[in-house]
A and B are shown apart, each in its own frame.
Chain A
Amino acid sequence: MQQFFYDAQIRRFLLQFTRIFSGFQIEYANENDGVNAAALIRVPVRYGDATRNAQTIIQENSRNSLPSTPLMTFYITGLDYEQSRMQDPYFVSKINVRQQAYDPATETYETTQGNAFTIERLMPVPFKLTINLDIWTSNTNQKLQLLEQVLTLFNPSLEIQSTDNYIDWTSLSVMYLDRTTWSSRTVPIGTENPIDIATLQFSMPIWLSPPAKVLKLGVIERVIASMYDAQGDLNNAIDNEDLLMGTRQVITPFDYAAVLIGNKLQCLQQQYLSQEPGNDTLTPTDIVPDSNLLWPAVIDLYGSLRPGISQIRLIQPDETEIVGTVALDPNDDRFLLFNVDIDTTPQNTLDPIDAVINPLTAGPQDGLDSAVDGQRYLLTEDTGSLDNSNPATAWVGANGRGLVAQANDIIQYSNNYWRVVFRAATETNTTQYVTNLTTSIQYRWIGDAWVKSYQGAYPGGTWRIVL
């Protein structure tokens, strides 16, 4: 069995129809006659097709009751389907709305966001509603007074609303005055003097609608597809002029340098670049305190920075790019927060190291933690010698096993002694990547030395902004 639904859609139009004709007045008696107190009276409006029971109650179940005039009554004379207004019956309109939060305790809406919904509305059905309005008057003068007031409403029509709900797309209709029947009397008057009825016929194009669907609003939190190029590469797609995103501006402003310090980017004029360590060293970059160059001053020359969307691209020696989205540091306008796209960074080829150390000045339990299995260090100096019968005691393992390593080697503690796991002297033709867990800096092996992988300074021409 179908579920019951009824929204009183026609009834609500009848309510508003009544309202349109309510409140009109007529002269009912002489003002200064000394007998009658009121010169104007309001003309009531009500539904004309009363049941016998209701009408009997209104008239006190007595023939002696006096029906009062003037009076306006109305009744429906037609409700016809309008083929000409039919539209796609299968169309479903969707509207997404967010409501203010509602406090049931105070029964008021608050200024913060509340529920969010998606509303689905099925195409309503068009009908033409025809209503007759009878104007009951006891003399022609009353009729003229009423008609003059009422008829100025329709030029040529009057809007009528069944509800003020923003979502209800069927609530607004319009009333057309189709025809006026001047009088129900015979002219000239016959043997009696009945109450006169002038009839106005109105038509309204209305819509009858089934219930709507209310769904919880689905929010797209992250776009995964449709932003990649044919090869599935987002960053290439952004630069691709054939794609939508290719309309972005690509800028290297004023030959300024950019320095990546951890997850922050500082913008520097060229003269300050000398204060930064070279990329061919393992020394971490640091803030240049003397520089007061602010990112907004740079970016505003070209457009607006869109936090989390705008990119900065760091060009590598091999012409690949490290890409990251940026947002202005809320605490210091000299810096951008650089959120690197890890897909653009080189993958480590070696297990991470715990630190970069000088084995001649530090060792386990001597400036470093006690030796633990799996500990890995990158050495900046040679230590030990095959010719040396007394190995460096700091790096001696079980059974007096010494360590012999050279600068740039990576050593690891396992099985209770230290051993070389990356021997630089034999890796002259390879490229390796490893991350320092202490500084989170990734290093690249270029055959004869370790250098910073992508952290570091980028002189003008080696980085660019994509707004």
Chain B
Amino acid sequence: MVNPKYYKYTMPRLSLYRPNRTRDYQFLDRTIREMYTVGGLDIYIHRYMGPQAGGNDSTLSGNFDATQPTYADVDVLNIQDLLLLENRDRIYDPDVYVMRGVYNTQDVDFDLTQFGLFLNNDTIFMTFHYNTMIDTFGRKLMNGDVIEIPNLTDYHPLNQNIPRALPRYYVIQDADFASEGFSQTWLPHLWRVKCTPMKDQQEFNTITNKPFVAENIWDPGNFYPTGSIVNYGDTYYQAQSNVPADTDITNTTFWQEYTPSTISDVQGTREKDYEINDAILAQADAEVPLSGYDNQTFYIEPTINGEPANPTNITADETITVDGTQGGMSVTPSGEGYAAGYLTGGGTAPNGLPVTSAVNFPPNPVAGTYVLRLDYKPNRLFRYDGARWVKVDDKVRTNLNNGPTNKTLRSGFVNNTATVNTKDLGNIPSRQSLSEILRPRADNGDQGGFLPPGT
């Protein structure tokens, strides 16, 4: 047993742990902050503020429901889609925050295996001084925040016409206290984030949709050479000629409003993907302009009662050259003959003969005349045989590109811009989703009714 008289000389229990932020913590924290100031680099941070508020996204597809609430304000606590638990239309703070951070540089392979097309192996870990982060940013960095690392800016992209250097964006995937950031007091001083490269995707549209031009605020006292781009407020202007000093920005002789390319346009691959896609479509369209088969260049022998009618009264024994002047040359083929087949009806007459397009038959027709009736669906080609209009074929060949020119059965349901007139809602769209069909909708005035008559 210890003699109580020695108590006064007993040292306090040794413990560096502090449950509260004492002066030790403050000292260490200031020291660490200074270390980050001295040794770290500026990191630009695009702050995630929450999903789009007041949007009307779902009405485009008619699937508005309670799981996709319309929020009054942008709030980081909101979730856009309560079923799929996604925040697709994210709002980022237009202001960019700057903080010092530290990360380990690394070598990254340009991996093009199937899932490497999007460079998923480029993952970096970065630490920030915690209290600086809270002071500057107002909250901890979190998943969805986007950081921009200035020392990785690429000043030499392949396309030298790109107007400015390409910044390197990362998205924070995970965040927590850094294990190396705990001081002797066991209190954390660092915030560690795990980042992967940002993609040009819907979630970051408010970032990538910004103009990709150097900030150049208009100064009326400056001289601007031709082609200069300046911004005045949120509007960009381009100099049409050399602009003398003291020229007002509203002077259209010198300045014209300019719509700059966006970050997505320049730094994203979508525009190039479109070019590639369009080139493929152009060639595909050239090789198969219409569905089915092209028999328009074939020559079909006109016949009468099953015998060649063109020309008449010439036998194989004769040495006459058929030159179009012989009898029977005006007889037209009654059909596609040997060139008929699956999906060959193109609404054109055999042998390239003229066709009249109409919604009714012409009066007093001449035998052999062709008429394409446009009021038939599909359009139907007829030939007058002297007594009656005989069907030749239906115009069933169609453009195969997805869109209104595609006249397939499915496309007729999808690419349907027609409207139906009603007594109370004006013209409503003919195309409606089965789940919503004929139901009165509160937004009929905007989307469902009072539309201009369709075709």
- Residues of chain A touching chain B, judged by Cβ–Cβ distance below 8 Å, are 12, 15-16, 18-20, 22-24, 27-33, 35-37, 39-42, 44-46, 48, 50, 52, 55-71, 73, 96-102, 109-114, 116, 134, 136, 138-142, 145, 149, 152-153, 159, 161-166, 172, 184, 191-195, 197, 221-222, 304, 306-308, 327, 330
Contacts and interface: CB of A to CB of B under 8 A. Distances in A.
Given A22-B402, A138-B201, A195-B201, A67 B206 contact: no
B200 A66 contact: yes
B447 to A, nearest CB: 10
Given A29-B89, A166-B339, A114 B280 contact: no
A140 B299 contact: no
A65 B110 CA distance: 12
B209 A68 contact: no
B292 A164 contact: yes
B198 A194 contact: no
Interface in B233-278: 263-264, 267-270, 272-274, 276-277
Interface in B303-341: 305, 307, 312-313, 315-317, 322, 324, 327, 338-339, 341
B291 interface: yes
Given A63-B108, A67-B117, A68-B269, A18 B410 contact: no
A40 B60 CA distance: 9
A215 B213 CA distance: 63
Contacts of A18: 277, 280-281, 284
Given A19-B401, A23-B403, A63-B122, A139 B143 contact: no
A138 B169 contact: no
Contacts of A327: 313
A457 B338 CA distance: 46
Given A30-B57, A65-B267, A66-B199, A46 B287 contact: no
Interface string B181-195: 000000000000010
B203 A138 contact: yes
Residue among B108, B123, B167, B268 with max Cβ neighbours from chain A (10 Å): B268
B158 interface: yes
Contacts of B419: none
Given A23-B403, A68-B201, A191-B173, A61 B299 contact: no
Given A30-B52, A56-B110, A191-B173, 18 more contacts: A16-B284, A19-B401, A22-B281, A33-B54, A39-B57, A45-B280, A48-B117, A52-B110, A68-B264, A70-B201, A98-B301, A136-B117, A138-B201, A141-B81, A142-B202, A192-B174, A194-B120, A307-B307
Contact of A64 (B153, B174, B196, B299): B153
Interface residues of B, number: 107
B223 to A, nearest CB: 33
Of the candidates A36, A222, A327, the one having the most CB atoms from chain B within 10 angstroms of its own CB is: A36
B34 interface: no
Contacts of B414: 149
A162 B287 contact: yes
A166 B343 CA distance: 10
Grouping DSSP codes into helix (H, G, I), strand (E, B) and loop, the B interface class, with mixed when no group exceeds half, is loop
B199 A330 contact: no
A60 B400 contact: no
B429 to A, nearest CB: 16
B228 interface: no
B284 A66 contact: no
Given A64-B166, A68-B200, A114-B299, A31 B273 contact: no
A111 B352 contact: yes
B416 interface: no
A235 to B, nearest CB: 18
Given A23-B402, A35-B206, A44 B293 contact: no
B297 interface: yes
B197 interface: yes
Contact of A100 (B110, B293, B299): B299
Nearest to B60: A27
Given A29-B205, A165-B294, A67 B199 contact: yes
Interface string B67-105: 000000000000001001010110100000000000000
B208 interface: yes
A37 B262 CA distance: 12
Most buried by B among A20, A48, A64: A64
Contacts of A65: 157, 166, 267-269
A138 B199 contact: yes
A420 B202 CA distance: 118
Contact of B267 (A48, A66, A109): A66
Contact of B205 (A28, A165, A195): A28
Contacts of A57: 158
B114 interface: yes
